[in-house]
Chain A
């Protein structure tokens, strides 16, 4: 049970604590594990989940300094879009089971409540032990925020005849259709509602998903989910942060637009008031999700030079192929000086995806991908790839146009999109009285307009 510590307090973990404080905590009856977990929040150090200090046993939990990190829930935009991507991510897609407008409102209100709690962290209600517990308990008796973001988006099917939302459908929101290289699996596609969960550890995203599923059994039905992660890197002082690598060994996201540039984000990412879209969408963004299998065995048997020409970048540094010695992933390729594709082939991935012409400026997207690894195929090959997620203010100009340019690229020999969907990420929850989708529901007169 959790009442009393059953193991002696381990000195090495407690060094940053003053003895006085420790005595107070002891007097409060905290056990050693809870103490160690909280300590982390007090003395932040750069670092990652790592093995416990000397004295830990084989099954002692790895420790992290970052469990107390949290992202703000309230805001004009939802968290989890421009938020720096943590190590772990998941997309879960649901059918909405609500039958009436009232039930739809209850769905979004409950999602708001759960998200607020999960991102903030805290102690779940304790029930009489003859009842099932209110919380799965997988993070312990106190839920840590662990940098969790919960990002809620809606699919085009939510705008069908059920709730009268048809007239308020985002202009470019459609059901994802297959591109020529796709082999879509119906069990991994579409959905009325998607939830992107990101956190420092996979356990935190799983905890959040289980909480949401448990609290909304009558309103949400899980269609599919895909988890992913990105490899963590050691921090190197005085060097800019590097982009994470995908499962093909290449950096992914080098050319991402700068999410700290508010003006740029307002142009390419966030839907603006007064444009061609319904007013309720202001502050939201389109989300494209793609589950893209990578044929990694085949890729690993491909000569490095060919790999690099397929991507248009040097594998190890991430530098564009026209970069000189010492170039990095942050050097910008100059395709204008390479009209014949001598350095960077015309059909290379980066040149097709972003030709860097004035026209292609309208096709910028913000990518937020994770790598996934699911198991083994019937052919004994690794089932792994990219959980591609990107955001943009205009789905047609953004992902759809970029993907059309990529159709037929040489990389297709090594990748196979099998699932995903298009969604619209709702505007942020502004204040304590606001809730997810309120502007949409108000526009459709399902709830009173905000006062």
Chain B
């Protein structure tokens, strides 16, 4: 496969050269994948599974407390628990998303639905967020709370029985950054509560966890890559630290344009760089 690709590229260059479409010389960058033995992947994948299991257990526990508050009609308590409850979900989002039916039920946003907030298919966290912040009330939220808890428990059950494919785990580091780049930089994820920075933190923690677990398997000469990725994770940490408040974060609306730009640059670069992690480890 690789051989035919190379010969094709060479032939094309040759032929084009004669047709004045002169291609630059040496067009082939044979960036070879590292030879990581499947055995080497066992330990980090197992450790990641433990990470996910712990996060899921935390998520079930927190969701129970959150939905209890909603059902008890305690608006203030429910508001206080909304963002922290989501953090463990955001950490493991690449795995949670393997179950797309549950992800949609738990975490879809109003604009995923044709009738937006009024759509009967709009359930889960953001439906409850809408009620708490826009209506300042738990009225009518009871059934959504029940469904959310049931969906989260089902997720827990499914994850427990899941075999973790290494390429999905490794690919997840970039997927978490794609999450941030696609919907969180704009502040549209938690549009009623503006608690996006909590989600950011969850996504970054989850991505960094994967990177840290697999970093030792990277080729020894890939120090520049490691340095660059860690540099961008650190940039993000510095920005997020500026907005820490108590155990959590200030409103996303407080984020300055300059800091938003730093986050955007770091997120997009992490997404771009981490998208090569699978290749670097030779995972198809």
Contacts and interface: CB of A to CB of B under 8 A. Distances in A.
B19 interface: yes
B272 A120 contact: no
A145 interface: yes
Contact of A131 (B7, B31, B261): B31
A2 B32 CA distance: 20
B279 A127 contact: yes
A141 B9 contact: yes
B16 interface: yes
A132 B275 contact: yes
A279 B261 CA distance: 31
Given A30-B12, A130-B33, A217-B272, A144 B21 contact: yes
B1 interface: yes
A101 interface: no
Contacts of B280: 131
A3 interface: yes
B2 interface: yes
Nearest to B261: A97
Given A34-B12, A131-B279, A214-B272, A122 B31 contact: no
B27 A141 contact: no
B8 A141 contact: yes
Decide if the interface of chain A is mainly helix, strand, loop or mixed: loop
B32 A128 contact: yes
B276 interface: yes
B126 interface: no
Interface in A346-403: none
Interface string B8-26: 1101111110011111100
Q: Could you say which interface size class chain B belongs to?
A: 35 or more
B279 A126 contact: no
- Which of A34, A126, A214: most chain B Cβ within 10 A? A126
A99 B262 contact: yes
B265 A125 contact: no
Interface in A1-38: 1-3, 25, 28-30, 34, 38
Interface in B50-103: none
A123 B276 contact: no
B227 to A, nearest CB: 14
Contact of A134 (B6, B8, B20, B29): B29
A125 B11 contact: no
B278 interface: yes
Nearest to B27: A123
A374 to B, nearest CB: 19
Interface in A321-338: none
Nearest to A130: B279
A130 B284 contact: yes
Interface in A123-159: 123-132, 134, 141-142, 144-145
B64 to A, nearest CB: 39
B12 A142 contact: yes
A221 interface: yes
B262 A128 contact: no
Contacts of A97: 261-262, 264-265
A214 B265 CA distance: 12
Nearest to A96: B261
A221 B259 CA distance: 13
A218 B27 contact: no
B24 A117 contact: yes
A30 B18 CA distance: 14
Given A25-B15, A28-B15, A99-B262, A130 B283 contact: yes
B16 A142 contact: yes
Contacts of B19: 38, 41-42, 68
A41 B21 contact: yes
Contacts of A130: 33, 278-279, 282-284
Nearest to B3: A3
B232 interface: yes
Contacts of B23: 121-123, 142
B4 interface: yes
B137 interface: no
B50 to A, nearest CB: 27
Nearest to A125: B29
B24 A120 contact: yes
15 contacts: A97-B265, A122-B21, A123-B9, A123-B27, A126-B27, A128-B33, A129-B5, A130-B278, A131-B31, A132-B275, A142-B12, A142-B16, A142-B21, A218-B232, A218-B265
Interface of A: 1-3, 25, 28-30, 34, 38, 41-42, 68, 95, 97, 99, 117, 120-132, 134, 141-142, 144-145, 214, 217-219, 221
